[in-house]
């Protein structure tokens, strides 16, 4: 493709629109999904089937005043919600939506995404700290320890993927899996060995739930314990940005899972690859995330750490070793 000034602008607008739409409409999807699971109707009043509800919510949030509590660090307090949004949108740049649609194909895009994912934790920490609220600070302390514990198994499973594909470029990893679902990393055969990557997939999925602070790992905003966690003192668009950041993190997590394990934009039957397959896959994953949230009760912070250190990390280590052995040795 020739480099022109339009390309970055097009991608910028496209990604912003994609991010904004997702952030707004995932909220609607979540409410509708939860309602159906609970046998309610969900939003119905604003627009057809409540479709304009996110718009109404947005207008309401924007028209409210951002109240900065007395005696807090005003700058950090205002900056934290913005920091929550930025890494999520930035991550979208390197995600290969299809063979042609990608903001920028970088050699180390896997690393970049993980670096950015850790940044969103900083936002939680700053928001909690700057609020000057005891609930908020407990919440951000929880969020940080949780994130630290889950980066490790997550990265370990990714190492296995990188070993299989031999590249840290998301685009290469996706291209490596083209040609039907039997080529996807989740059902990967290599050198005539089945690689058991579905274990890695489950570990990665659990970790991405924990990384994005989703139920059952939403200790950071456990509303029955910590009121609203790090968002307690936020109102108006400060709260809105945190919410949007959270949903975008889910989208990024789903995109990453699809690219790493589910063959990216590949069609399961090896016929017509394209961006629609990619979108279908990420929305199925996102629906699963919503489904999980409305099924389980919340776990407890030390159970969560136990799960990470006692189950996920040993399993992902074994996974790396077995994969390496199967690829290189046998």
Partner 1 sequence: MSGYWSDILVGSKSLVTGLMITARQFFRPVVTENYPYEVPVMTELFRGHIELIGNEETGKPNCIVCMACQRACPSGCITLAGKKMEGDKKKTLTKYVLDFTKCSLCGSCVESCKFNALRFSKEYNLVSFNKDDFIIDLVKRLEDQN
Partner 2 sequence: MTLPVELRHDETFVLNLGPQHPATHGVLRVKLTMDGEYIVKAEPVLGYVHRMHEKLAEVAPYAQFMPNTARMDYLHALAFNHGYALVVEKAAGIEVPERAEYIRVITVELNRIASHLLWWAAFLLDLGGFTPLLYAFDDREHVIDLLERITGSRLTYCYMRFGGVYNDIDDEFITGTRDFIKRLRSRMPSLYHDLVTHNIILIKRIKDIGFISAEQCRKYGATGPVARGSGIDYDVRKNEPFSVYPELDFDVPVYDECDSMARYMVRMDEMEQSLRIIEQALDKLPDGPVQAKVPKILKPEAGYYYSAVETARGSLGHRLVSDGGKNPYKLKLRSPTFSNLSLFGEVAEGMLLADALAFMGSLDLVIPEIDR
List interacting residues with partner 1 (CB under 8 A). 33, 35-41, 44, 291-292, 294-296, 310-311
From 104-112, 199-207, 216-224, 312-320, span contacting partner 2 (CB under 8 A): 216-224
- Which residue of 219, 241, 258, 285 would you call a contact of partner 2, by CB under 8 A? 219
106 binds, among partner 1, partner 2, none (CB under 5 to 8 A by kind): none
Q: Is 129 an interacting residue with respect to partner 2 (CB under 8 A)?
A: yes
CB atoms within 10 A of CB 130: 25
- Backbone φ, ψ for residue 266 (5° rounding): -75, 145
Q: Cα–chain-centroid distance for residue 39?
A: 27
Q: Is 40 an interacting residue with respect to partner 2 (CB under 8 A)?
A: yes
The C-alpha angle 120, 235, 57, rounded to 5 degrees, equals 95
CA-to-CA distance for 206 and 318, rounded, in angstroms?
17
- Please list, in sequence order, all residues whose beta carbon lies within 8 angstroms of the beta carbon of residue 314, skipping any fewer than 6 positions away: none
Tokens of 4: 């022109």
Q: Is 37 an interacting residue with respect to partner 2 (CB under 8 A)?
A: yes
310 binds, among partner 1, partner 2, none (CB under 5 to 8 A by kind): partner 1
Q: Is 164 an interacting residue with respect to partner 2 (CB under 8 A)?
A: no
- Backbone φ, ψ for residue 189 (5° rounding): -105, 135
CB 295 to partner 1: min, Å? 4
- Backbone φ, ψ for residue 193 (5° rounding): -110, 140
- If we measure between CA atoms, which residue out of 175, 11, 173, 19 comes closest to residue 104? 11
Q: Is 214 an interacting residue with respect to partner 2 (CB under 8 A)?
A: no
CB 158 to partner 1: min, Å? 22
Classify residue 41 as exposed, middle or buried by CB count within 10 Å of its CB (0-12, 13-18, 19+): exposed
CA-to-CA distance for 178 and 227, rounded, in angstroms?
46
From 83-91, 164-172, 217-225, 241-249, span contacting partner 2 (CB under 8 A): 217-225
- Comparing CB distances to partner 1, the nearer of 33 and 238 is 33
CB 300 to partner 2: min, Å? 5
CB 187 to partner 2: min, Å? 27
- Please list, in sequence order, all residues whose beta carbon lies within 8 angstroms of the beta carbon of residue 286, skipping any fewer than 6 positions away: 26, 29, 250, 251, 254
Cβ pair 232, 226 in contact under 8 A: yes
Q: Is 100 an interacting residue with respect to partner 2 (CB under 8 A)?
A: no
CA-to-CA distance for 264 and 50, rounded, in angstroms?
32
- Comparing CB distances to partner 2, the nearer of 43 and 216 is 216
36 binds, among partner 1, partner 2, none (CB under 5 to 8 A by kind): partner 1
Interface with partner 2 in residues 276-315 (CB under 8 A): 294-303
- Which residue of 199, 202, 227, 324 would you call a contact of partner 2, by CB under 8 A? 227
- The residues of the shown chain that bind partner 2, judged by CB under 8 A, are 34, 37-40, 71-73, 129-138, 141-142, 215-216, 218-219, 222-225, 227, 294-303
């Amino acid at each position: 493709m020739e480099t022109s000034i339009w390309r970055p602008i097009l991608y910028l607008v496209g990604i912003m629109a994609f991010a904004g739409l997702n952030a707004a409409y995932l909220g609607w999807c979540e409410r509708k999904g939860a309602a159906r699971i609970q046998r309610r109707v969900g939003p119905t009043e604003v627009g057809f089937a409540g479709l304009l509800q996110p718009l109404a919510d947005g207008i309401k949030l924007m028209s409210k005043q951002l109240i900065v509590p007395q005696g807090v660090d005003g700058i950090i307090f205002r900056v934290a919600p913005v920091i929550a949004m930025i890494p999520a949108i930035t991550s979208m740049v390197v995600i290969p939506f299809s063979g042609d649609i990608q903001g920028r194909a970088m050699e180390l895009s896997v690393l970049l995404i993980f670096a950015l994912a850790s940044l969103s934790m900083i936002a939680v920490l700053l928001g909690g700290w700057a609020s000057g609220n005891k609930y908020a600070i407990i919440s951000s302390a929880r969020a940080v320890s949780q994130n630290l514990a889950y980066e490790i198994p997550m990265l370990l499973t990714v190492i296995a993927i990188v070993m299989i594909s031999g590249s840290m470029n998301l685009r290469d990893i996706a291209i490596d899996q083209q040609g039907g679902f039997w080529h996807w990393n989740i059902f990967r055969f290599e050198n005539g060995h089945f690689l058991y990557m579905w274990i890695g997939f489950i570990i990665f999925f659990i970790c991405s739930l924990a990384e994005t602070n989703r139920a059952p790992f939403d200790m950071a905003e456990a509303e029955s314990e910590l009121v609203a966690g790090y968002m307690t003192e936020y109102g108006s668009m400060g709260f809105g940005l945190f919410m949007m950041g959270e949903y975008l993190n889910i989208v990024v997590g789903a995109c990453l899972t699809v690219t790493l394990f589910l063959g990216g934009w590949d069609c399961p039957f090896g016929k017509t690859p394209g961006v629609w397959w990619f979108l279908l896959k990420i929305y199925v994953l996102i629906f699963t995330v919503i489904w999980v949230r409305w099924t389980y009760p919340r776990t407890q912070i030390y159970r969560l750490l136990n799960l990470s250190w006692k189950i996920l990390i040993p399993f992902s280590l074994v996974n790396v070793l077995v994969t390496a052995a199967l690829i290189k040795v046998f």
